[in-house]
Amino acid sequence: MKKFYISLLGSALVSIIVLGWLIDAFSQQAHAPLDEFSVQSQIIVGLSKQLTTLKPDARPQQVTKLAADFDLILNYKLNQSLALPLALLDKMQTQGGLILEDEQGFYMLYTNDELSPYHLTMRLDKPYEATQRNDIILTLLFYTGLCVFMGFIITPLAKRLTVLNEAAKQFASGNVKARITPSRFTYIKDVELTFNRMASQIEKLVAENKLMASSLSHDIRTPIACLRFGVDAALDSHDESKIKHYLTRMETDLDHMESMLKSYLTFATLEQNANKLTYSSANLKQYLSDIVLQLEPRITSRSLNISLECDDHTVYADLHWLARAITNLINNACDFANHSIRVTASVQERFLVVNIADDGPGIAQENNHKVFSPFFRERSHRNRSDNSYGLGLAIVAKVADWHHGTVKVSKSERLSGACFTLTIAQFEH
């Protein structure tokens, strides 16, 4: 929008200055009195030469006769009758004489050494109609030119606003894929890009909500069916030991349902934290060492070896959510690793790069992008504990996106299992 404001203001100023200058130049040319009365100045000079051939006493009568013969308003008066400064009185002796203007018209005054101390005065009417007509035409030309100049600025804006309005209508009608194709010749590029980001975010949220509803309805059927079976079996049984057994199984199913719903609700409200990130800095090596230390009981229980290789740099991020992402990646490695997990981290060109590799079965290449989708679980090797709902890696992807980074998976060259690479931006602070 800043570009639009600057262009609009600049165009308005340029158009006013250019049009004003052109109209002023034309107006001066059209209203130059000396150019308009060049013929009259020659007439008054010629008449004065005739008067100088006569005696002073005969000159007033001759002026009256000339005025009648040529239908002119001529007067022959003393210079002292004029209430003018000496500079203007001296100007009456110049080639064109002195021209004075009042509301009705012009006065042309002329004298020379032979006529002094008298002068000739010739009255000239002002062309009212022509002057008014020219003023009206010039005014209309000014505003027409201004409108044309402003049209060059407003027209592209109107077109882009129409495009934005059409995209908004399509989006409102249910086409969540409606987007605006950015143009270099637009003043509202920021608005268009913001609309596209908003539309992408809404599309993503709608897709996640649909997927979550579908997955929840699918996954919750099994524990509900188990609960119903347990209730029916407990009601039909008269053996207290069996009833207690059924109730224990039902309690386990309820715990499973509670865990499932908690995970789903946590993911559903996860996006609200995108605007609540709290950035701080920490020593990268110490930070990762603390995360590994917290996960040591689980790593030990699985009889796994974990190695940490890290540069001694400073990391700048939301340390809570970054730790959540790294923890999810290490937990995922614990689920599928056979013996070893390797964690490496470094800062490269203002990006923090964390690699977490394991020696497990790896990820099928066709699923490299799917594993970061919510509720996705590979059928070939599900989580051993069966307590995963396919949300851990989806949370990692969201944390990476919040930090203007990426997360991807590939095959580890060293351990031959999966290798997850988390990259987040390091801003100046």
Q: Does the reported pTM lie above 0.85?
A: no
Q: What is the pLDDT of residue 383?
A: 45
Q: What is the pLDDT of residue 152?
A: 75
Residue 373, pLDDT > 60, answer yes
| Residue range 377-383: mean pLDDT, rounded | 55
What is the average pLDDT value for the chain, to the nearest integer? 82
Q: What is the DSSP string of 100-121?
A: EE-SSEEEEEE--TTTTTEEEE
The alpha-helical segments, DSSP class H, found in 37-127 are 38-52, 59-70, 86-91
Q: What is the pLDDT of residue 274?
A: 67
Share of the chain above pLDDT 90, in %: 17
Q: Tell me how far CA of residue 391 lies from CA of 298, 365, 376, 399, 403, in angstroms.
A: 19, 20, 8, 12, 19
Residue 30, pLDDT > 60, answer no
- Select the more confidently predicted residue: 227 or 421: 421
Q: What is the pLDDT of residue 215?
A: 65
Residue 269, pLDDT > 70, answer yes
What's the pLDDT tens digit per position in 281-313? 999 999 999 999 999 988 988 899 999 999 888
Residue 134, pLDDT > 70, answer no
Residue 131, pLDDT > 60, answer no
Q: Tell me how far CA of residue 330 lies from CA of 286, 292, 340, in angstroms.
A: 16, 8, 11
Residue 20, pLDDT > 80, answer no
What's the pLDDT tens digit per position in 151-210? 777 778 788 888 888 999 988 888 888 899 878 777 788 888 889 988 888 887 787 777
Q: What is the pLDDT of residue 133?
A: 64
What's the pLDDT tens digit per position in 308-365? 999 888 899 999 899 999 999 999 999 889 999 999 999 888 899 999 999 999 888 8
Q: What is the pLDDT of residue 384?
A: 46
Q: What is the pLDDT of residue 11?
A: 67
Residue 4, pLDDT > 70, answer no
Query: What are the phi and psi torsion angles at 354 (to 5°)?
Result: -115, 125
Q: What is the pLDDT of residue 263?
A: 72
Q: What is the pLDDT of residue 292?
A: 92
Share of the chain above pLDDT 70, in %: 85
- Select the more confidently predicted residue: 33 or 306: 306
- Select the more confidently predicted residue: 381 or 342: 342
- Select the highest-mean-pLDDT range: 135-149, 200-214, 224-238, 376-390: 224-238
Q: What is the pLDDT of residue 323?
A: 92
- Give dist(CA 306, CA 317) in Å, integer: 24
What's the pLDDT tens digit per position in 44-88? 888 888 888 888 888 889 889 888 888 888 888 888 888 888 888
- Give dist(CA 90, CA 75) in Å, integer: 19
> What are the strands, taking DSSP E only, across 314-414?
314-317, 340-348, 351-358, 406-411
Q: What is the pLDDT of residue 35?
A: 53
Q: What is the pLDDT of residue 306?
A: 93
Residue 407, pLDDT > 90, answer yes
Cα torsion 292, 294, 297, 298: sign = negative
What's the pLDDT tens digit per position in 231-244? 888 888 888 888 88
Nearest residue to 315 via CA among 293, 346, 277, 290: 346
Nearest residue to 358 via CA among 377, 334, 382: 334
